[in-house]
Amino acid sequence: MAKTEKLPQGINKTPKGRYRARVYYQGKQQSIGQFDTLTDAKAGLVNAKSDIARGVFVPMSTRKAQEREQVQEQERSTVTVDHVAEKYFAFLETSGKARGTIYTYESRFRSHVAPTFGHRPIAEITVKDIEDWFTKLTETKGRGVARSVYLTASAFFNYAAGDARGQSSAFEPYIETSPCKVSGAAKHRPAHRDSEPVATVEQLTFIADHVPPQYRLAILFSGWCAVRLGEVLALKRSDLTDVNGQLWLNISRQVQARGKGLYETEPKSEAGVRSVPIPGALNDAVSDHLENHVGKAKTALLFPRVGEKWTHPNYLRNRFNDAREAWNAEHENDQLENFTFHGLRHTALTRIGQAGATLEELKRYAGHSSAEVVAKYQHATRDRLAMLAGSLSKSIDNN
Protein backbone atom coordinates (compact mmCIF):
# COMPACT_ATOMS: atom_id res chain seq x y z
CA MET A 1 0.00 0.00 0.00
CA ALA A 2 1.38 3.35 -1.12
CA LYS A 3 2.36 5.73 1.65
CA THR A 4 0.21 8.94 1.74
CA GLU A 5 2.26 12.08 1.17
CA LYS A 6 2.24 14.27 4.25
CA LEU A 7 1.67 17.91 3.28
CA PRO A 8 2.14 21.09 5.32
CA GLN A 9 -0.93 22.90 6.61
CA GLY A 10 -2.37 25.12 3.87
CA ILE A 11 -1.27 22.87 1.01
CA ASN A 12 -3.20 20.05 -0.64
CA LYS A 13 -2.75 18.00 -3.79
CA THR A 14 -5.16 18.29 -6.74
CA PRO A 15 -6.44 15.29 -8.73
CA LYS A 16 -4.05 16.26 -11.49
CA GLY A 17 -1.03 16.01 -9.21
CA ARG A 18 -0.42 19.71 -8.65
CA TYR A 19 -0.14 21.48 -5.28
CA ARG A 20 -2.70 24.07 -4.25
CA ALA A 21 -1.65 26.57 -1.57
CA ARG A 22 -4.08 28.60 0.61
CA VAL A 23 -3.84 31.08 3.43
CA TYR A 24 -6.32 32.65 5.84
CA TYR A 25 -6.78 36.37 5.23
CA GLN A 26 -9.35 38.58 6.97
CA GLY A 27 -11.25 35.51 8.20
CA LYS A 28 -11.47 33.84 4.79
CA GLN A 29 -9.42 31.16 3.09
CA GLN A 30 -7.73 32.65 0.05
CA SER A 31 -6.08 30.65 -2.74
CA ILE A 32 -2.62 31.77 -3.77
CA GLY A 33 -2.42 29.45 -6.74
CA GLN A 34 -1.43 25.96 -7.94
CA PHE A 35 2.19 24.82 -8.25
CA ASP A 36 3.95 21.99 -10.05
CA THR A 37 6.13 21.02 -7.07
CA LEU A 38 5.72 20.93 -3.33
CA THR A 39 8.80 23.14 -2.94
CA ASP A 40 7.20 25.85 -5.05
CA ALA A 41 3.94 25.59 -3.12
CA LYS A 42 5.80 25.96 0.19
CA ALA A 43 7.67 29.00 -1.14
CA GLY A 44 4.41 30.55 -2.32
CA LEU A 45 2.86 29.94 1.07
CA VAL A 46 5.81 31.58 2.87
CA ASN A 47 5.67 34.62 0.56
CA ALA A 48 1.94 35.02 1.05
CA LYS A 49 2.24 34.90 4.86
CA SER A 50 5.05 37.44 4.65
CA ASP A 51 2.87 39.76 2.55
CA ILE A 52 0.05 39.44 5.07
CA ALA A 53 2.42 40.32 7.89
CA ARG A 54 3.61 43.41 6.01
CA GLY A 55 0.04 44.43 5.03
CA VAL A 56 0.63 44.17 1.28
CA PHE A 57 -1.17 40.93 0.51
CA VAL A 58 -3.60 40.99 -2.44
CA PRO A 59 -5.95 37.99 -2.83
CA MET A 60 -5.78 36.17 -6.14
CA SER A 61 -9.45 36.94 -6.88
CA THR A 62 -8.69 40.64 -6.50
CA ARG A 63 -5.60 40.41 -8.72
CA LYS A 64 -7.60 38.64 -11.44
CA ALA A 65 -10.34 41.28 -11.25
CA GLN A 66 -7.72 44.02 -11.56
CA GLU A 67 -6.16 42.26 -14.52
CA ARG A 68 -9.54 41.92 -16.22
CA GLU A 69 -10.27 45.59 -15.60
CA GLN A 70 -6.90 46.54 -17.03
CA VAL A 71 -7.56 44.49 -20.16
CA GLN A 72 -11.01 46.05 -20.52
CA GLU A 73 -9.54 49.51 -20.04
CA GLN A 74 -6.98 48.81 -22.77
CA GLU A 75 -9.75 47.59 -25.06
CA ARG A 76 -11.89 50.65 -24.35
CA SER A 77 -8.96 52.95 -25.03
CA THR A 78 -8.85 51.71 -28.63
CA VAL A 79 -12.61 51.98 -29.32
CA THR A 80 -13.22 54.67 -31.92
CA VAL A 81 -15.86 57.39 -31.99
CA ASP A 82 -17.45 55.77 -35.05
CA HIS A 83 -17.80 52.45 -33.21
CA VAL A 84 -19.57 54.08 -30.27
CA ALA A 85 -21.74 56.08 -32.68
CA GLU A 86 -23.22 52.85 -34.05
CA LYS A 87 -24.21 51.86 -30.50
CA TYR A 88 -25.56 55.34 -29.83
CA PHE A 89 -27.92 55.49 -32.79
CA ALA A 90 -29.16 51.98 -32.02
CA PHE A 91 -29.83 53.19 -28.46
CA LEU A 92 -31.84 56.16 -29.76
CA GLU A 93 -34.08 53.82 -31.75
CA THR A 94 -34.86 51.69 -28.71
CA SER A 95 -35.31 54.71 -26.41
CA GLY A 96 -38.32 56.02 -28.30
CA LYS A 97 -36.80 58.93 -30.21
CA ALA A 98 -38.79 59.96 -33.29
CA ARG A 99 -37.47 58.67 -36.58
CA GLY A 100 -37.05 62.18 -37.95
CA THR A 101 -35.08 63.25 -34.88
CA ILE A 102 -32.74 60.27 -35.19
CA TYR A 103 -32.24 61.04 -38.87
CA THR A 104 -31.35 64.64 -38.05
CA TYR A 105 -28.89 63.63 -35.31
CA GLU A 106 -27.23 61.07 -37.55
CA SER A 107 -27.01 63.47 -40.48
CA ARG A 108 -25.34 66.12 -38.31
CA PHE A 109 -22.99 63.56 -36.83
CA ARG A 110 -21.92 62.07 -40.17
CA SER A 111 -21.47 65.49 -41.77
CA HIS A 112 -19.73 67.45 -39.02
CA VAL A 113 -18.51 65.20 -36.19
CA ALA A 114 -17.31 61.99 -37.84
CA PRO A 115 -14.92 63.64 -40.34
CA THR A 116 -12.90 65.10 -37.44
CA PHE A 117 -13.29 62.51 -34.68
CA GLY A 118 -14.73 59.34 -36.20
CA HIS A 119 -11.45 57.46 -36.64
CA ARG A 120 -10.01 58.47 -33.27
CA PRO A 121 -10.25 56.47 -30.01
CA ILE A 122 -13.08 58.06 -28.06
CA ALA A 123 -11.06 58.01 -24.82
CA GLU A 124 -8.50 60.34 -26.42
CA ILE A 125 -10.90 63.19 -27.27
CA THR A 126 -10.14 66.14 -25.00
CA VAL A 127 -11.97 69.32 -24.05
CA LYS A 128 -9.40 71.26 -26.10
CA ASP A 129 -10.15 69.08 -29.14
CA ILE A 130 -13.85 69.91 -28.89
CA GLU A 131 -13.16 73.62 -28.35
CA ASP A 132 -10.95 73.82 -31.45
CA TRP A 133 -13.47 71.84 -33.51
CA PHE A 134 -16.37 74.05 -32.42
CA THR A 135 -14.46 77.25 -33.17
CA LYS A 136 -13.65 76.06 -36.69
CA LEU A 137 -17.22 74.86 -37.26
CA THR A 138 -18.60 78.24 -36.19
CA GLU A 139 -16.23 80.05 -38.56
CA THR A 140 -17.11 77.87 -41.55
CA LYS A 141 -20.80 77.08 -41.01
CA GLY A 142 -22.06 79.89 -38.81
CA ARG A 143 -23.32 80.05 -35.26
CA GLY A 144 -26.71 78.45 -35.93
CA VAL A 145 -25.33 75.29 -37.54
CA ALA A 146 -22.47 75.03 -35.06
CA ARG A 147 -24.84 75.19 -32.08
CA SER A 148 -27.13 72.48 -33.47
CA VAL A 149 -24.22 70.18 -34.27
CA TYR A 150 -22.65 70.84 -30.86
CA LEU A 151 -25.86 69.80 -29.12
CA THR A 152 -25.82 66.54 -31.10
CA ALA A 153 -22.16 65.93 -30.26
CA SER A 154 -22.81 66.70 -26.60
CA ALA A 155 -25.68 64.21 -26.46
CA PHE A 156 -23.45 61.58 -28.07
CA PHE A 157 -20.57 62.05 -25.63
CA ASN A 158 -23.00 62.06 -22.70
CA TYR A 159 -24.13 58.64 -23.89
CA ALA A 160 -20.52 57.46 -24.11
CA ALA A 161 -20.03 58.60 -20.50
CA GLY A 162 -23.18 56.78 -19.36
CA ASP A 163 -25.09 60.01 -18.69
CA ALA A 164 -27.83 59.76 -21.31
CA ARG A 165 -31.44 59.70 -20.17
CA GLY A 166 -32.87 56.20 -20.28
CA GLN A 167 -29.54 54.37 -20.28
CA SER A 168 -29.37 51.06 -18.45
CA SER A 169 -27.51 51.01 -15.14
CA ALA A 170 -25.58 48.03 -16.53
CA PHE A 171 -24.05 50.19 -19.29
CA GLU A 172 -20.24 50.33 -19.09
CA PRO A 173 -19.07 53.85 -20.02
CA TYR A 174 -16.40 54.34 -22.67
CA ILE A 175 -15.21 57.59 -21.09
CA GLU A 176 -15.31 59.07 -17.59
CA THR A 177 -16.89 62.37 -18.58
CA SER A 178 -17.99 64.20 -21.71
CA PRO A 179 -15.39 66.51 -23.31
CA CYS A 180 -18.16 68.85 -24.54
CA LYS A 181 -17.61 71.72 -22.13
CA VAL A 182 -17.44 74.73 -24.45
CA SER A 183 -18.79 77.74 -22.56
CA GLY A 184 -21.88 79.20 -24.21
CA ALA A 185 -21.87 76.75 -27.13
CA ALA A 186 -25.35 75.46 -26.37
CA LYS A 187 -26.85 78.90 -25.78
CA HIS A 188 -29.48 79.94 -28.28
CA ARG A 189 -28.90 83.33 -29.88
CA PRO A 190 -31.92 84.04 -32.09
CA ALA A 191 -31.58 86.27 -35.07
CA HIS A 192 -33.03 89.77 -34.79
CA ARG A 193 -36.63 89.97 -35.92
CA ASP A 194 -35.70 92.81 -38.26
CA SER A 195 -33.68 90.35 -40.34
CA GLU A 196 -36.72 88.12 -41.00
CA PRO A 197 -38.93 89.37 -43.84
CA VAL A 198 -42.63 89.85 -43.19
CA ALA A 199 -44.79 89.57 -46.29
CA THR A 200 -47.38 92.23 -46.96
CA VAL A 201 -51.00 91.24 -47.48
CA GLU A 202 -50.55 91.91 -51.20
CA GLN A 203 -47.43 89.71 -51.38
CA LEU A 204 -49.06 86.89 -49.44
CA THR A 205 -52.14 86.96 -51.66
CA PHE A 206 -49.96 86.98 -54.80
CA ILE A 207 -48.02 83.90 -53.67
CA ALA A 208 -51.23 82.05 -52.79
CA ASP A 209 -52.64 82.88 -56.24
CA HIS A 210 -49.51 81.66 -58.04
CA VAL A 211 -49.18 78.17 -56.62
CA PRO A 212 -51.28 75.32 -58.08
CA PRO A 213 -54.95 75.94 -57.11
CA GLN A 214 -55.12 72.87 -54.86
CA TYR A 215 -52.40 74.40 -52.65
CA ARG A 216 -53.68 77.99 -52.50
CA LEU A 217 -55.36 77.41 -49.13
CA ALA A 218 -52.20 75.78 -47.76
CA ILE A 219 -50.34 79.06 -48.35
CA LEU A 220 -53.13 81.04 -46.69
CA PHE A 221 -53.20 78.72 -43.67
CA SER A 222 -49.45 79.08 -43.21
CA GLY A 223 -49.46 82.84 -43.83
CA TRP A 224 -52.46 83.68 -41.64
CA CYS A 225 -52.69 80.82 -39.12
CA ALA A 226 -48.94 80.14 -38.56
CA VAL A 227 -49.25 76.48 -39.52
CA ARG A 228 -45.94 74.74 -40.20
CA LEU A 229 -45.27 73.10 -43.57
CA GLY A 230 -45.41 69.54 -42.19
CA GLU A 231 -48.52 70.37 -40.16
CA VAL A 232 -50.47 71.81 -43.07
CA LEU A 233 -49.76 68.74 -45.22
CA ALA A 234 -51.10 66.42 -42.50
CA LEU A 235 -54.45 68.23 -42.18
CA LYS A 236 -57.64 66.26 -42.87
CA ARG A 237 -61.24 67.31 -43.44
CA SER A 238 -62.02 66.30 -39.85
CA ASP A 239 -59.44 68.80 -38.57
CA LEU A 240 -61.73 71.66 -39.60
CA THR A 241 -64.40 72.44 -37.02
CA ASP A 242 -67.07 75.12 -36.74
CA VAL A 243 -67.70 76.52 -33.25
CA ASN A 244 -70.56 79.05 -33.26
CA GLY A 245 -69.65 80.23 -36.74
CA GLN A 246 -65.90 80.42 -36.08
CA LEU A 247 -63.82 77.95 -38.10
CA TRP A 248 -60.93 76.28 -36.27
CA LEU A 249 -57.93 74.22 -37.40
CA ASN A 250 -57.14 71.34 -35.05
CA ILE A 251 -53.46 70.47 -35.39
CA SER A 252 -52.24 67.17 -33.98
CA ARG A 253 -49.98 65.66 -36.67
CA GLN A 254 -47.20 66.53 -39.07
CA VAL A 255 -45.77 64.98 -42.23
CA GLN A 256 -42.05 64.29 -42.12
CA ALA A 257 -39.62 63.58 -44.94
CA ARG A 258 -36.43 63.19 -42.92
CA GLY A 259 -35.05 59.72 -43.57
CA LYS A 260 -36.54 57.24 -46.03
CA GLY A 261 -39.94 58.13 -47.47
CA LEU A 262 -42.81 60.16 -46.08
CA TYR A 263 -44.37 59.39 -42.73
CA GLU A 264 -46.67 60.99 -40.18
CA THR A 265 -45.69 61.84 -36.60
CA GLU A 266 -47.01 63.78 -33.65
CA PRO A 267 -45.70 67.31 -33.04
CA LYS A 268 -42.39 67.44 -31.16
CA SER A 269 -43.96 68.92 -28.02
CA GLU A 270 -47.31 69.00 -26.24
CA ALA A 271 -47.69 72.65 -27.21
CA GLY A 272 -47.65 71.61 -30.88
CA VAL A 273 -51.08 70.01 -30.45
CA ARG A 274 -53.37 73.03 -30.65
CA SER A 275 -56.48 74.61 -32.15
CA VAL A 276 -56.01 77.73 -34.27
CA PRO A 277 -58.84 80.10 -35.30
CA ILE A 278 -59.15 80.77 -39.04
CA PRO A 279 -59.76 84.43 -39.97
CA GLY A 280 -63.35 84.73 -41.17
CA ALA A 281 -62.22 86.38 -44.42
CA LEU A 282 -60.83 82.97 -45.45
CA ASN A 283 -64.15 81.14 -45.02
CA ASP A 284 -65.04 81.33 -48.73
CA ALA A 285 -61.58 80.03 -49.67
CA VAL A 286 -62.05 77.13 -47.23
CA SER A 287 -65.49 76.27 -48.68
CA ASP A 288 -64.19 76.44 -52.25
CA HIS A 289 -61.21 74.24 -51.41
CA LEU A 290 -63.35 71.60 -49.68
CA GLU A 291 -65.74 71.52 -52.63
CA ASN A 292 -63.14 71.26 -55.39
CA HIS A 293 -60.00 69.67 -53.97
CA VAL A 294 -60.87 67.43 -50.99
CA GLY A 295 -62.53 64.02 -50.77
CA LYS A 296 -65.83 63.71 -48.96
CA ALA A 297 -64.57 61.36 -46.22
CA LYS A 298 -63.70 62.91 -42.87
CA THR A 299 -60.26 61.30 -43.13
CA ALA A 300 -59.56 62.88 -46.54
CA LEU A 301 -56.38 64.93 -46.65
CA LEU A 302 -56.87 68.64 -47.31
CA PHE A 303 -53.79 68.85 -49.52
CA PRO A 304 -53.09 65.43 -51.10
CA ARG A 305 -50.87 64.95 -54.11
CA VAL A 306 -52.43 62.98 -56.96
CA GLY A 307 -51.56 59.29 -56.65
CA GLU A 308 -49.84 59.73 -53.28
CA LYS A 309 -50.95 59.64 -49.68
CA TRP A 310 -49.25 62.89 -48.74
CA THR A 311 -47.76 65.77 -50.69
CA HIS A 312 -44.00 65.81 -50.23
CA PRO A 313 -42.91 68.94 -48.27
CA ASN A 314 -40.29 69.68 -50.93
CA TYR A 315 -42.96 69.74 -53.64
CA LEU A 316 -45.03 72.42 -51.91
CA ARG A 317 -41.88 74.28 -50.87
CA ASN A 318 -40.71 74.38 -54.49
CA ARG A 319 -44.10 75.64 -55.72
CA PHE A 320 -43.90 78.35 -53.04
CA ASN A 321 -40.41 79.28 -54.23
CA ASP A 322 -41.68 79.55 -57.83
CA ALA A 323 -44.48 81.89 -56.74
CA ARG A 324 -42.09 84.04 -54.71
CA GLU A 325 -39.75 84.38 -57.69
CA ALA A 326 -42.72 85.31 -59.87
CA TRP A 327 -43.46 88.17 -57.47
CA ASN A 328 -39.83 89.28 -57.51
CA ALA A 329 -39.78 89.21 -61.32
CA GLU A 330 -42.82 91.50 -61.49
CA HIS A 331 -41.87 93.82 -58.62
CA GLU A 332 -38.28 94.96 -59.08
CA ASN A 333 -38.58 97.63 -56.39
CA ASP A 334 -40.42 95.47 -53.84
CA GLN A 335 -38.43 92.25 -53.66
CA LEU A 336 -39.08 89.42 -51.22
CA GLU A 337 -35.48 88.60 -50.35
CA ASN A 338 -34.54 85.61 -48.18
CA PHE A 339 -38.23 84.79 -47.77
CA THR A 340 -38.68 81.06 -47.19
CA PHE A 341 -41.80 78.97 -46.62
CA HIS A 342 -41.15 79.34 -42.89
CA GLY A 343 -41.43 83.09 -43.48
CA LEU A 344 -45.17 82.55 -43.94
CA ARG A 345 -45.39 81.35 -40.34
CA HIS A 346 -43.26 84.26 -39.14
CA THR A 347 -45.53 86.63 -41.07
CA ALA A 348 -48.62 85.20 -39.37
CA LEU A 349 -47.12 85.44 -35.90
CA THR A 350 -46.01 89.01 -36.56
CA ARG A 351 -49.52 89.96 -37.67
CA ILE A 352 -51.18 88.34 -34.66
CA GLY A 353 -48.66 90.10 -32.42
CA GLN A 354 -49.45 93.44 -34.05
CA ALA A 355 -53.13 92.72 -33.43
CA GLY A 356 -52.42 92.76 -29.70
CA ALA A 357 -51.72 89.15 -28.72
CA THR A 358 -49.97 88.60 -25.40
CA LEU A 359 -46.83 86.45 -25.16
CA GLU A 360 -48.88 83.53 -23.86
CA GLU A 361 -51.39 83.90 -26.69
CA LEU A 362 -48.58 83.98 -29.25
CA LYS A 363 -47.11 80.79 -27.82
CA ARG A 364 -50.45 79.04 -27.95
CA TYR A 365 -51.15 80.28 -31.47
CA ALA A 366 -47.74 79.11 -32.67
CA GLY A 367 -47.56 75.87 -30.69
CA HIS A 368 -43.94 76.75 -30.07
CA SER A 369 -42.81 75.99 -26.52
CA SER A 370 -41.64 73.32 -24.14
CA ALA A 371 -44.12 71.23 -22.17
CA GLU A 372 -43.29 73.25 -19.04
CA VAL A 373 -44.65 76.41 -20.64
CA VAL A 374 -47.93 74.87 -21.76
CA ALA A 375 -49.57 75.76 -18.42
CA LYS A 376 -49.23 79.46 -19.29
CA TYR A 377 -51.52 78.92 -22.26
CA GLN A 378 -54.46 78.64 -19.87
CA HIS A 379 -54.50 82.44 -19.82
CA ALA A 380 -55.19 82.57 -23.56
CA THR A 381 -58.89 81.80 -24.09
CA ARG A 382 -60.51 80.57 -27.31
CA ASP A 383 -62.72 83.68 -27.43
CA ARG A 384 -59.69 85.96 -27.23
CA LEU A 385 -57.94 84.07 -30.05
CA ALA A 386 -61.10 84.19 -32.15
CA MET A 387 -61.29 87.96 -31.65
CA LEU A 388 -57.68 88.30 -32.77
CA ALA A 389 -58.40 86.21 -35.87
CA GLY A 390 -61.32 88.54 -36.58
CA SER A 391 -58.97 91.50 -36.69
CA LEU A 392 -56.91 89.65 -39.31
CA SER A 393 -60.03 89.29 -41.44
CA LYS A 394 -60.25 93.09 -41.67
CA SER A 395 -56.70 93.20 -43.05
CA ILE A 396 -57.60 90.63 -45.71
CA ASP A 397 -60.88 92.33 -46.68
CA ASN A 398 -59.21 95.72 -46.94
CA ASN A 399 -56.63 94.45 -49.43
Per-residue pLDDT tens over the stretch 35-67: 989 889 889 888 988 888 888 888 887 887 777
Q: How many residues does this entry show for the chain?
A: 399
Instruction: Label residue 229 exposed, middle or buried (CB < 10 Å: 0-12, 13-18, 19+).
Output: buried
Backbone angles phi, psi at 236, to 5 degrees: -120, 165
Question: Domain total for the chain?
Answer: 3
Q: Are residues 353 and 276 both part of a single domain?
A: yes
- At residue 31, the 3 state secondary structure works out as strand
Distance in angstroms (rounded) separating the CA atoms of residues 254 and 268: 9
Q: Are residues 239 and 382 both part of a single domain?
A: yes
Q: Which residues pair with 33 in a beta bridge?
A: 21
Q: Are residues 296 and 349 both part of a single domain?
A: yes
pTM: 0.56
Q: What is the pLDDT of residue 54?
A: 86
Q: Are residues 154 and 225 both part of a single domain?
A: no
Q: Are residues 302 and 338 both part of a single domain?
A: yes
Evaluate if residue 223 carries a pLDDT over 90: yes
In CATH, what number is assigned to the domain containing residue 219? Answer: 1.10.443.10
Reported as a single tens digit per residue, the pLDDT across 133-190 is: 999 999 998 888 899 999 999 999 999 999 988 888 888 888 889 999 998 888 766 5
Backbone angles phi, psi at 13, to 5 degrees: -100, 135
Domain that holds residue 103: 81-160
When pLDDT is cut at 50, 70 and 90, the band that residue 348 belongs to is: confident
Q: Are residues 86 and 24 both part of a single domain?
A: no
Distance in angstroms (rounded) separating the CA atoms of residues 298 and 198: 34
